[in-house]
Amino acid sequence: MEWINLPIEIISKFNALGEIVPLKLRLEDENHHLQTAKVVNIIYTNENQFAGTKTLDYGCKVQFEASEKMLELRYHIVSHKWTIRRVIC
């Protein structure tokens, strides 16, 4: 398990219950190229209190061009920012 805490851009939607559902993400790799990935499946969602700030954590299976990875995405509710918290596998 690799902890990275990398800022990302997200396209998301709200479902009928008002819950945030991430659909796609975009990040800048180490070569400064933009990489886009599709969220294939959301395994879990947890609401947390992180350093006094409310967050939502999403365990997601994400499809990049050549590979599929399990990532934990974190949404910071107050600042409206998204990060990849860690690579699960």
User: pLDDT tens digits for 7-30?
Assistant: 999 999 999 999 999 999 999 888
| Confidence band for 3, pLDDT divided at 50, 70 and 90 | confident
Burial environment of residue 44 by CB neighbours within 10 A (0 to 12, 13 to 18, 19 or more)? exposed
Q: What pLDDT is recorded for position 67? A: 92
Q: Do 76 and 53 contact (CB within 8 A), yes or no? A: yes
pTM of the shown model: 0.89
Task: Kindly compute the dihedral angle of the four CA atoms of residues 38, 41, 45, 49, in this order, to the nearest 10 degrees.
Answer: -30
Question: Phi/psi at 31 (nearest 5 deg)?
Answer: -95, 10
Residue reference for tokens 């409310």: 54
- Tell me the β-bridge partners of 53: 50
